[in-house]
A = this chain, B = another copy of it.
Amino acid sequence: MRASLECIPCFIRQAMDACKMVLDDKQIQQKVMKKVLLATAEFDMNLTPPEMAQKIHRIIREETGCEDPYFDIKQKSTDMAIEIRDKVQSRVNSFEKAVRFAIAGNIMDFGVKSTWNEDFIMESFNKAENIAIDRDMIGKLYEEIAQAKTVLVLADNAGESVFDKMLIENFPGSAEVIYAVKGSPVINDVTQYDAERADIASVATIISNGVDIPGTSLEQSSSEFVDCFNGADVIIAKGQGNFETLNTCKLKVYFLFQVKCSVIADHYHYGLGDWMVTNSDITR
C-alpha cells in the first residue's frame, strides 16, 4: 500500500524518537532532524510506508554513526519476552493459542510506540487468550501448514520472535521452516543476532532478506530470499510493516498482526487495535 499524508507526521515523530534515543547533543539532534525533514519533503508518495521509513532510518544511522540505535530496546524486548514466555507456555496447548501469543508479541513495536511501557506490553499478553480473532482463518492456515513441505515466516520485531518460536513449535505436520530476518538493523526489527537470542535456530533455518526495510520488498531483497519466498508452500508475515509491503502480493501471504495505525484501520475497515489473521487473497 502507498503511504498516506498521515504517515508524514508519524515518520517525523519516529525520527525524533530515534534521535533522542541515540544522541544527547541537541545541536546534532537538530542537524539530523533537518536532514530527515528535507528527505521527507522529497518523498515519492507512491512508496510504501516501510520504504519511506527505510530512508529515514538510514539517515539517522548515517548521521549518528550508530549502526543499531534500537540495540538496547531489542535486548530488553527479547529478555522480557522470554520471561513472559516462561510464565505462559504451559497454557499454550493448541495452534490457535500459539497464533494468539504470536500476535500478542507484535505489541513490541518501537516504530509505532517509542517509549518502553511495561504495562502497555503486558496488557497485550493478558488479553491474548480472549480477544476476538478470525478463528476460521486460523483453521485454514493450520490446514495449509499441515500439508506444506516448506513454511516461510517473515519476522517482525525483536522480542516477538520468542513467541514466533512458540508458534513454529505448534505447527502441524513436518514442514521445513525458514525464518527470514532483516539484512541489517532498522528500528527494532529482528536481525540474525536477535533471532538467535530468541533461540529461533532450534526450530527453523534463519535466513536474511538482505535489506534494512521495516517490511518486505521483493525488489530489494537478495535472490536467495526471493527464491525462498517464491518456493514456499506457506508464507506467514508478521507485523504491520510486512502487511503494508505485501498486502497486494500475488502469492498468498498470511498476515498476523495488531492494527496500530488508523490509516490501515480505515482503509481495510479494521478497528484500531484489532488483532488480524488474514491473507493477501483478501487484501490484494
Binding site for B on A (CB under 8 A): 5-6, 8-9, 12-13, 16, 19-20, 26, 29-30, 33-34, 37-38, 40-42, 45
In the complex, 23 of the A-B residue pairs with CB atoms within 8 angstroms, ordered by the A residue number, are A5-B16, A5-B19, A5-B29, A5-B30, A5-B33, A6-B16, A8-B12, A8-B16, A8-B37, A9-B9, A9-B12, A9-B16, A12-B12, A13-B13, A30-B45, A33-B41, A34-B41, A34-B42, A37-B37, A37-B38, A37-B40, A38-B38, A41-B41
- Residues of chain B contacted by A26 (CB below 8 angstroms): 5
Chain B nearest Cβ from A207, distance in angstroms: 35
Bound form: Cα–Cα A252–B18 in Å: 39
Bound form: Cα–Cα A42–B6 in Å: 22
Bound form: Cα–Cα A30–B43 in Å: 10
- Residues of chain B contacted by A42 (CB below 8 angstroms): 34
Could you tell me the dominant secondary structure of chain A's interface residues? helix
* Integer count of this chain's copies in the complex: 2
Chain B nearest Cβ from A269, distance in angstroms: 20
Having A5-B19, A9-B13, one finds 4 other A-B pairs with CB under 8 Å, namely A5-B30, A8-B12, A37-B41, A41-B41
Bound form: Cα–Cα A30–B19 in Å: 25
Chain B nearest Cβ from A196, distance in angstroms: 34
Query: Nearest 8 CB-CB pairs, A to B?
Result: A37-B41, A9-B13, A9-B12, A12-B12, A34-B41, A38-B41, A37-B37, A37-B40
